[in-house]
Chains A and B, each alone.
Chain A
């Protein structure tokens, strides 16, 4: 691990890149995924179909292929992104499908009577969803959502194969240069991921307790 300390500027650079990728993609995925989940339970069939196709397609496609699409295919169609931007788009799309599933299962856990009461008070579908159903759905969705975000943090390593200099790309470069310290480098990089993921789990537990409410 000494080699990592020697190159700590580079390590810091890579670590913040990983963090940035995860944070921005996570935020976008949360928003997009929630919208998609809402579409999936909407009374409008075309929206429902669109959302189902979106989720099933992305959820069942390897992340590398999604990356490949945004890094190599879209430029050939005339949309060129910076590698980091392409990575964020790929990670957001992919993760949003899992967010949508987690939120949808949360929605399904809210008793039908809640939505019926909202409807009988004259709320629109959108009001019903945003005021009554989603706030309750998120409470149940927190544990699965945290799992999705932990997976996202680890999935950022795929960006390393697509010209983004994050932790995984750095570890590859480092192991080439410091071939005597492979184990130390890998352990150090793994530690970096742990530093991000373990608190996420902690936050999950904290949030769960904080928003827990008696039913």
Chain B
């Protein structure tokens, strides 16, 4: 595994070509310059945790990577391929980028099993039998196999989020994006989701994770990206970031978070 340890010029010391690469990305919401000069490379197998105060653009950053948000300028590449603006090429690249949302977004009218099999069957044209076998294995792995025939609303939040992770994994993505996956959960359910994510990281999944779970960031992140007001201010290893943040904004942010 490659680790780029320092400097916002993310190309840094990476040896393998980056799996996700953002170059000069600019994004506006009207007058709000929500992403400014974003440069970020994520190597295969790397876990990047994105931290930052509310409204700093973390979600927007995540969402541009599978083009749920368009960008105004710059370039985003997934495994070397420039993200197209629309059409089948975009759909194909999206299928390679898994996304886990804060609000789970499981398909409400489909059972847990169907949630996991629908995209492999319809998008990847896998046979129903294969898709179900794999879905069952994935549900097993995230610990909700016994809920396979229930509707999402019948599950707890933690279970729903684990199903959502299984649903993404079913597409065999090259990289997984997590946008505050545990923020909508009751405290006692956070760990079950974090455990699944930690397991994924250990298996070498490339992950970009927006989270407020500092424990996860410390233990699992290869690099921490700190954002404020639309900019990436620091890219450091977790040890460096948590023990000696460089920027005042990061010090400020950490003191508030850790004061809790």
Binding site for B on A (CB under 8 A): 43, 111, 113-114, 116-124, 127, 131-132, 135-136, 139, 213-215
Residues from 83 to 103 in B contacting A, C-beta threshold 8 Å: 86, 88, 91-92, 94-99, 101, 103
- In the complex, the answer to whether B86 meets A114 with C-beta atoms within 8 Å is no
| B107 within 8 Å of A (CB atoms) | yes
Kindly state the separation between the CA atoms of A123 and B171 in the bound complex, as whole angstroms: 11
Query: B59-93: which residues lie under 8 A (CB-CB) from chain A?
Result: 66, 68, 86, 88, 91-92
Residue of B nearest to A127 (CB): B122
Are A117 and B94 also in contact (CB < 8 A) when A124-B88, A213-B153 are? no
- Size category of the B interface is 20 to 34
A120 and B122 within 8 A (CB) = no
B residues in contact with A120, CB < 8 Å:
66, 68, 94, 97-99, 168
How many A-B residue pairs have C-beta atoms within 8 angstroms? Tell me: 72
Contact between A136 and B98, CB atoms less than 8 A apart: no
Note all chain B residues with C-beta closer than 8 A to A123.
91, 119, 122-123
Residues of chain A lying within 8 A (CB to CB) of residue B97: 120
Minimum-distance CB pairs A-B, first 8:
A122-B95, A214-B153, A113-B105, A121-B119, A117-B105, A120-B99, A122-B123, A122-B94
Residues of B within 8 A of A (CB): 66, 68, 86, 88, 91-92, 94-99, 101, 103, 105-109, 118-119, 122-124, 151, 153-154, 164, 167-168, 171
In the complex, how many angstroms separate the beta carbon of B35 from the nearest chain A beta carbon? 18
Select which of A111, A113, A124, A131 is within 8 A of B118 by beta carbon: A131
Q: Hey, which chain A residues are within 8 Å of B153, CB to CB?
A: 213-215
A132 engages B119 (CB within 8 Å): no
Given A122-B123, A214-B153: 17 more A-B contacts, CB < 8 Å? A113-B105, A114-B105, A116-B68, A116-B101, A117-B101, A117-B105, A117-B107, A117-B167, A119-B94, A120-B94, A121-B119, A122-B96, A123-B119, A123-B122, A124-B91, A139-B109, A213-B151
29 contacts between A and B (CB under 8 A): A113-B101, A114-B108, A116-B68, A116-B101, A116-B105, A117-B105, A117-B107, A117-B167, A119-B66, A119-B68, A120-B94, A120-B99, A121-B118, A122-B94, A122-B96, A122-B119, A122-B171, A123-B119, A123-B122, A123-B123, A124-B88, A131-B118, A131-B122, A132-B107, A135-B109, A213-B151, A214-B153, A214-B154, A215-B108
Most chain B C-beta atoms within 10 Å of own C-beta, residue among A117, A124, A214: A117
Given contact pairs A117-B101, A215-B153, A122 touches B91 in the complex (Cβ within 8 A): yes
- Determine if A121 and B171 form an interchain contact, defined as CB atoms under 8 angstroms apart: yes
